[in-house]
Amino acid sequence: MDSVWRAEIAGWDAPAEPAARSAAVESLEAGAVIFLPNLRFEVLPAEVRLFTPAILGAAKNASFDPVSGRLGGTSATGSDAAVLRDMLARFSGAAATLADRLFPRYVGRLTRGRGSFRPAEIAGRKTTWRKDDTRLHVDSFPATPTGGRRIMRVFTNVNPEGRARAWRVGDDFAAVASRFAGQLRPPLPGSGRLLALLHVTKSPRTAYDALMLQLHDRMKEDDVFQRESRQTAFDFPAGSTWLGFTDQVSHAAMSGQYQLEQTFLLPVDAMAQPERSPLRILEALKGRALT
């Protein structure tokens, strides 16, 4: 299957045909990025003033919790903070509607996580190799363990200058996990609960979470893998939207500025093909349960 699957959907709340929904689930669970070239998120005139990296604090993104409405990572205050919150809430709701329309089998099973606005240019950003998003990786959250749940993310390019967001999309998860499986070590018994007690993590880190964090790091630090593994360059134009299981899709963001993102979590048993999940693949490689 192609690493990027294109679908013609022009509205966030537009119903998808049954054949399109079936193909979308198949592509998503197989590890493809679903590309919606004509799905534009309209930025309101009052929101244009937020399009500057100056709204960021020390973080690389401004974050939004759709449950509490709380903002993070931003220096915006007063009316600017209110406009930023409203924009992120509006996008979060649109992304949730899109997910329900495109993946009806997941309705009621998706949990909405944090959203973000990313106004900083990726290319040339100084950071450590572990935090360098221009290096191929799969997503894993150090402080918020998923316990095996899938990480699905919806992205949209709202660059006002018409610039694309450039990605590299890598090999399928089973191939990547097999390459690094020998370097992935199970955590010490009880260490996951200890991290939660010490408030290093928000919940106990499972063996799965520990292995995924190791896989993220082994991928990023391996220069040969970064250079020689199978990968495809793809530009997501301004005014387009894309989504995928980013715990499964090897990806790297190479350049681009001004993007909105919304994260969702999905239990493995909600999938049409749970055996394609990173949890089941890692369990098969390690020969043991990981949650």
pLDDT > 90: percent of the chain: 93
- Could you tell me the pTM of the whole model? 0.96
- Range of weakest confidence among 122-126, 249-253, 261-265: 122-126
Query: Would you state the pLDDT for residue 57?
Result: 82
Query: Would you state the pLDDT for residue 15?
Result: 85
Query: Would you state the pLDDT for residue 184?
Result: 97
Convert the pLDDT of each residue in 101-121 to its tens digit.
999 999 999 999 999 999 999
Task: For the chain, give the mean pLDDT.
Answer: 96
Instruction: Give one DSSP letter per residue of the chain, joined into a string.
Output: --SEEE-----TTPPPPHHHHHHHHHHHHHTPEEEETT-PPPPPGGGGGG-SGGGB-SSSSEEE-TTT--EESB---HHHHHHHHHHHHHHHHHHHHHHHHH-GGGTTT-EEEEEEEE-S--TT----GGG-TTS-B----SSS--TT-EEEEEEEE--TT---EEEEEE--HHHHHHHHGGG--PPPTTHHHHHHHTTSSSSPPPHHHHHHHHHHHHHHH-HHHHHHS-EEEEEE-TT-EEEEETTTS-EEEEE---EEEEEEEE-GGGSS-GGGSHHHHHHHHHTS---
All domains of the chain, ordered by start, with CATH? 4-54+92-112+119-286 (3.60.130)
Q: Are 231 and 136 contacting, i.e. CB atoms less than 8 angstroms apart?
A: yes
Contacts of 143 (CB under 8 A, 6+ apart): 200, 201, 202
Query: Would you state the pLDDT for residue 125?
Result: 86
Query: Would you state the pLDDT for residue 43?
Result: 97
Query: Would you state the pLDDT for residue 58?
Result: 82
Query: Would you state the pLDDT for residue 70?
Result: 96
CA distances to 22, 151, 167, 249, 288 from 179, in Å: 31, 22, 22, 15, 18
Query: Would you state the pLDDT for residue 10?
Result: 82
Q: Which two tokens stand for residue 66?
A: 């759709």
- Range of weakest confidence among 1-15, 38-52, 260-274: 1-15
Query: Would you state the pLDDT for residue 25?
Result: 97
pLDDT > 70: percent of the chain: 100
Query: Would you state the pLDDT for residue 126?
Result: 84
Convert the pLDDT of each residue in 149-204 to its tens digit.
999 999 999 999 999 999 999 999 999 999 999 999 999 999 999 999 999 999 99
Query: Would you state the pLDDT for residue 164?
Result: 98
Convert the pLDDT of each residue in 70-97 to its tens digit.
999 999 999 999 999 999 999 999 999 9
Query: Would you state the pLDDT for residue 211?
Result: 98
- Residue 259 above 70 pLDDT? yes
d(CA 72, CA 145): 19
pLDDT band at 1 (very low <50, low <70, confident <90, very high): low
β-sheet with 71-72: strand ranges across: 4-6, 33-36, 241-245, 150-157, 259-266, 111-118, 62-64, 71-72
